Structure 1
Amino acid sequence: MAPACQLVAGLASGKVLADRAYDADSLHDVILNEGGEPVIPPRRHRKYQHRYDKFAYRQRWGIEGFFAKLKQWRRVATRYDKLAANFLGFIKLASIMLWLK
């Protein structure tokens, strides 16, 4: 079983986001067997183009972009804080600063 399939197996049912690099029939089947809905677009060269949630796939770029901007803060990227509460507090502060820009 591929590493991506092992990560997905046993997750709660729902949508699973993955990148095009994980376009494999085995991963697609594991997601469907676990009761989830694949959000992995098939590659163009495939004969069988399986269905996926196009809206959810488009929305993931907003989330990835946010995390990329958040990691520009050195304190977030290196995680200097030892306590989870302090780290979460700075994540919230940095998120507010990004939102206000």
Structure 2
Amino acid sequence: MGRSRGGLTTKIHALVDADGRPIRLKLTAGQAHDGRSAADMFETVRPGQILLADRAYDSDDLRKNLKARGVWGCIRPMPNRVHIPVFSP
């Protein structure tokens, strides 16, 4: 549990396959940054696969890591980005 504006909270990060079956789950404190907290979960994504992620995981570091491993990241960009990466809704 972690303290945030809403009180004591916990986040559940889930990596699922194309059918929605869980591959990895991780609990973090509510105030923890999503992208940095769950970065180690993406190690199971293999070359040729596509990672669909929420904008909370949008970071240049994650995108570079995925690209270097041959994974295409389809991550909705944060609205305050200056250089908007390719995204397919």
Q: Return the TM-score normalized by structure 2.
A: 0.51
The answer to whether the 8 Å contact 1:5/1:30 transfers is: no
Q: Is the 8 A contact 1:17 1:40 kept in 2?
A: yes
Alignment of 1:4 with 2:23, yes or no, is no
Write the distance in 1 (CA, Å) between the matches of 2:80 and 2:71. Answer: 24
Which ranges in structure 1 are unaligned for 5 or more consecutive residues?
Answer: 55-101
Using the size of structure 1 for normalisation, the TM-score is 0.46
Q: Secondary structure at the match of 2:61?
A: helix
Matches within 5 A, 1:14-53: 14-53=49-88
Q: CA deviation at 1:10?
A: 4.6
1:62 matched to which residue of 2? none
Q: Provide the C-alpha distance between the structure 2 equivalents of 1:39 and 1:47, rounded to a whole number of angstroms.
A: 18
**Rg (Cα) greater in structure:** 1
- Structure 1 distance, partners of 2:64, 2:36, is 12
Aligned Cα RMSD in Å? Answer: 1.9
1: CA distance between counterparts of 2:69 and 2:36?
A: 16
- State the distance in 2 between where 1:33 and 1:3 align: 20
What is the number of residues matched between the two proteins? 54
Taking the TM superposition and a 5 Å limit, the aligned residue runs for 1:20-99 are: 20-54=55-89
